[in-house]
Amino acid sequence: MRRWTEADLVQMGLDPSTVRRCFKRHFGATFLQLARQRRVQMGLRALSTGDKVIDAQLTAGFSSPSAFRLAFAQLMGQAPGSLKRDAVLKAGCIDTPLGPMLAVADAKVLHLLEFIDRRALRGELARLRSRTGTELGMGHSEPMAQVEAELVEYFDGKRAQFEVALAEHGSSFERAVWADLRRIPAGQTRSYGAIAAAMGRPGAARAVARANGANQLALVVPCHRVIGSDGALTGYGGGLWRKQRLLEMERKYL
């Protein structure tokens, strides 16, 4: 794998500072932040296959145990040593064409699916632990294997709907919104106002937007198919660039 340097950018006629600004504006993170996320992902994957913390640290390329613990805690909200091997909830990484995702599932249902670089991920994991009253561990489960296989088919253009069983942690209103999101056909979009009107609550567009943002099952519950009433791409936790790519990709399902 090639290691790019500022000299390479200069040789291509690019200004390194401009490239850094454009990169952060587009991806919401710096080169170094994404590189660290990649290394933590490698550590997550090693832990999910049963490696010890020290082995996962070395696999991820961290020379210092404290640096690995800090980077891991910044992402997951807890130190790697606090993960329970016999935990009910298992977390694991899933690679996709739009970047790695973190999946959390028990033996029967999928609880969370988010892009690893989502800023709110640590808070979502904390809420999940609080709502379920269980600790988090690393490993694999049947729902995780199922959603990984379905994601491959989705990105290959062979599957528009997901069938994995879900645990939707939310209020009755939020769950109703998420059910409506799953009814939006791939290749189509809806506005917050349109969803609120379809639910018989035409004045609840903002509440729909909040419920949309509270979704913890990215892609499976397709909150990326909701846009502004003027057709603009509104906020998306996975990044607007991903939202645009997903909507472009889903046009083939029409």
Active-site positions read: 223
Distance CA 204, CA 181 (A): 15
Rounded distance between C-alpha atoms, residue 254 and residue 252, angstroms:
5
Q: Look-up: residue for tokens 């995780």?
A: 144
Q: Which residue has the tokens 């996975």?
A: 238
**Residue 112 · residue 121 · CB < 8 Å:** no
Q: 40 to each of 9, 64, 97, 156, how far by Cα in Å?
A: 26, 13, 18, 27
Q: What angle do CA 180, 181, 186 make, to 5 degrees?
A: 125
Separation of alpha carbons 76 and 125, rounded Å: 7
The two tokens of residue 118 are 């989502």
Instruction: Supply 101's token pair.
Output: 């995702």
Instruction: Determine the residue type at 228.
Output: G
The single-letter DSSP state of residue 217 is B
